[in-house]
């Protein structure tokens, strides 16, 4: 997918009847079961675990994986459609589902057969939740700078360190923990990080304090503390010292899901503004009759369609097996910022109702700040896009 000499077929998006049937099923679940409790989840800052059980029954934790590994044999586009529909009502609940893929996807792509049978199958079936543990107190976007270390001891590794902002950390049964197995050496700073699978209940693994953040209330991140956590050597995912590659590949896929969250939130803000402007009257006229409101609705509509097309495009490229790194970064930027923009415009249209905590719109604005930040901040995505363009031009390797 070249920026300077694009091929028309790279922009083809094909949504099958199967995709639409699946979207309809998820939409029905979201409207009937997620929507009624979304505000309660946010207000009480506590996830409704009944929804997790229902999502498992619907197969939402294993959408793109083969049936032999407990999946639904779908694709990334199917996962995007499901994420969008769920995030339309609860971005927090969509994060519970989405964060699990940050463990199941790398196990599927890089794990061995034993690891897939032991860990991927129950995660894909929704029998076990999972958490991806990379971020540390002093390390965010620069994943190669992590300081959590793992020392070999016989046929095991002893891990010590602390992780921060771990989504699902307080709910997970399985953890994918990244630790440094060799020190940073000059320009090869991305070498020496290894991915380990750990399980809830292992001695030395403790869930620390929860970090209260403004959005995704109901799925607040936590810290993980590893104090002489012993993990079997057989729980290493992929090659020793190549964990950064595993993580970055995982994030490339995950960004498309975040874009889907942004699209769902942008859609929800548009719907809220439309519903309000067709019901609220001022000076004996409905709000929608005023041109300044019409212009805002038009811009919100354009933002939703742009976000959706770019998200579906990025998901389609992953399905085709083509280079989608740049596409996923573009989609993430546009969709998450569309969510923020639409929430703000909905507030301007709705006035006091827009900023009321009893309404969905202020929650959408808060949630948009989180999705702009995780899976690589949007400024990091801009750097990623530029690096990809530079590679195309032969400027950098």
Residues labelled as active-site residues: 375
Phi-psi region of 31 (alpha: psi -120 to 50; beta: other; left: phi over 0): alpha
Nearest to 136 by CA among 61, 221, 212: 221
Cα dihedral 56, 75, 102, 343 in deg (nearest 10): -90
Closest CA to 98 of 266, 264, 240, 237: 264
Distance CA 234, CA 156 (A): 8
With beta carbons less than 8 A apart as the criterion, state whether 88 and 268 touch: yes
* Positive or negative: CA dihedral 37, 172, 166, 266: negative
Q: What are phi and psi of 378, to 5 degrees?
A: -65, -30
Helix crossing, 243-277 with 291-320: angle to 10°?
150
């Amino acid at each position: 997918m070249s920026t300077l000499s694009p091929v028309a077929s790279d922009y083809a998006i094909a949504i099958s009847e199967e995709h639409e049937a699946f979207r309809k099923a998820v939409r029905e679940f979201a409207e009937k079961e997620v929507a009624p409790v979304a505000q309660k989840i946010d207000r009480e800052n506590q996830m409704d675990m009944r929804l997790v059980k229902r999502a498992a029954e619907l197969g939402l934790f294993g959408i793109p994986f083969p049936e032999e590994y407990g999946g639904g044999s779908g694709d990334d586009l199917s996962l995007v459609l499901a994420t969008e529909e769920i995030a339309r009502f609860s971005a927090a609940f969509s994060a519970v589902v989405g964060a699990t893929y940050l463990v199941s996807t790398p196990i599927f792509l890089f794990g061995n057969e034993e690891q897939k049978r032991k860990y991927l199958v129950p995660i894909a079936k929704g029998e076990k939740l999972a958490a991806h543990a990379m971020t540390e107190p002093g390390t965010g976007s620069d994943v190669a700078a992590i300081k959590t270390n793992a020392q070999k001891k016989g046929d095991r590794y002893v891990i010590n360190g602390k992780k921060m902002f771990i989504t699902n950390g307080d709910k997970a049964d399985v953890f994918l923990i990244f630790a440094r197995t060799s020190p940073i050496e000059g320009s090869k700073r991305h070498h020496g990080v290894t991915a380990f699978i750990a399980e809830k209940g292992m001695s030395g693994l403790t869930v620390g304090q929860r970090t209260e953040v403004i959005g995704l209330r109901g799925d607040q991140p936590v810290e993980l503390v590893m104090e002489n956590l012993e993990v079997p050597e057989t729980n290493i995912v992929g090659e020793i010292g190549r964990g950064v590659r595993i993580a970055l590949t995982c994030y490339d896929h995950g960004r498309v899901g975040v874009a889907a969250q942004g699209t769902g939130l942008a859609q929800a803000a548009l719907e809220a503004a439309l519903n309000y402007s067709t019901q609220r009257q001022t000076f004996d006229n409905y709000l929608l009759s005023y041109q300044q409101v019409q212009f805002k609705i038009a811009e919100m509509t354009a933002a939703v369609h742009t976000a959706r097309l770019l998200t579906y495009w990025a998901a389609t490229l992953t399905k085709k097996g083509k280079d989608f790194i740049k596409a996923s970064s573009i989609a993430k930027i546009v969709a998450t910022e569309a969510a923020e923009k639409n929430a703000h415009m909905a507030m301007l249209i709705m006035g006091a109702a827009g900023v009321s905590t009893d309404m969905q719109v202020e929650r959408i604005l808060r949630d948009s700040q989180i999705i702009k930040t995780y899976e690589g901040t949007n400024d990091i995505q801009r750097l990623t896009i530029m690096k990809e363009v530079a590679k195309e031009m032969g400027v950098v390797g």
